[in-house]
Structure 1
Amino acid sequence: MIRCIHLTTGADGESHFTEGQIDLPAGERGDSISSVAGARSISFRETSGGGSFDWHDAPEHQLVLTLSGTLEFETRSGARFQLNPGDVLWAEDTAGGGHRWRLLGTDPWRRAYVILSPDARVPFVPTQGNTHAN
């Protein structure tokens, strides 16, 4: 299982998130393999331990793959979630109130940004009852 948080803009213009996972049906050689989601580009970034970023929207529809570091994200309603190494953030809150984040601990946040193609279909499966709108 690969944990995934889907961050969207709701009808109220604010960011909301849903916890879930990447769908990994059985594949070859005993591996579990997702379907392919089209991407336009990938880039890498590192933020030193203790870093933070105040209120902002996602610049584009993207996947953020956390390689190291533990973060706390918050929406304007006060709802919070953590990202840990190996987690995926599917950020689609490109308008509205946005979100903010801060690094927990002293480890740097190393991540990959995968900018999705306009027609990309992310194989996300929500965990029942884990949409956070408040």
Structure 2
Amino acid sequence: MIRCVRLFTGADGGSHVQIGRLDLAPGRNDDLVSTAMASSHVTAEETATGGTLAWHTAPVRQLVVTLAGTLVFTTRDDEEFTLNPGDVLLAEDTVGSGHQWHLVGDDPWRRIYIVLADGVEVPFVAD
């Protein structure tokens, strides 16, 4: 199972959280795989230990794969979740009240951003 947290804008204009996973099915070599998802570009980024980012929305609809570091995200409605290495964030709150995050622990936040192509379906399944 690959844990996935969906951050989206609700009808109230606020950022909200759904905890779930990426839907995987049997594939080649006895691996589990998702459906293919088209992307426009991929980048890698690192934020030093102790990093934080104040209120903002996602700049684009994207997947954020955490490679290292532990973060705590908060919405303006006090919804909170933690991302750990191996977790995927589906950032869809490109408008509205936004979210903030801060790094916890001693590791930097290393991550891969996958900007999703227009209209792409992400195989997210809510818990």
TM-score normalised per structure 2: 0.99
- 1:52 aligned partner: 52
CA offset at residue 59 of structure 1?
0.3
Q: Aligned equivalents of 2:93 and 2:65: distance in 1?
A: 17
* Structure 2 unaligned blocks of 5 or more: none
C-alpha RMSD over aligned residues:
0.5
Aligned residues: 127
The answer to whether residue 82 in structure 2 is matched with residue 82 in structure 1 is yes
CA offset at residue 93 of structure 1?
0.2
Q: Aligned equivalents of 2:69 and 2:43: distance in 1?
A: 17
Q: Which amino acid aligns with 1:58?
A: A
Aligned 8 A contact 1:38 1:119 in 2:
no
Q: Which amino acid aligns with 2:17?
A: F
CA offset at residue 119 of structure 1?
1.8
* Structure 1 unaligned blocks of 5 or more: 128-134
The sequence identity of aligned pairs, in percent, is 52
Runs (4+) of structure 1 exceeding 6 A deviation are none
- 1:130 aligned partner: none
2:29 is paired with a residue whose SS is: helix
Q: How does 1:1-134 map to 2 (within 5 A)?
A: 1-127=1-127
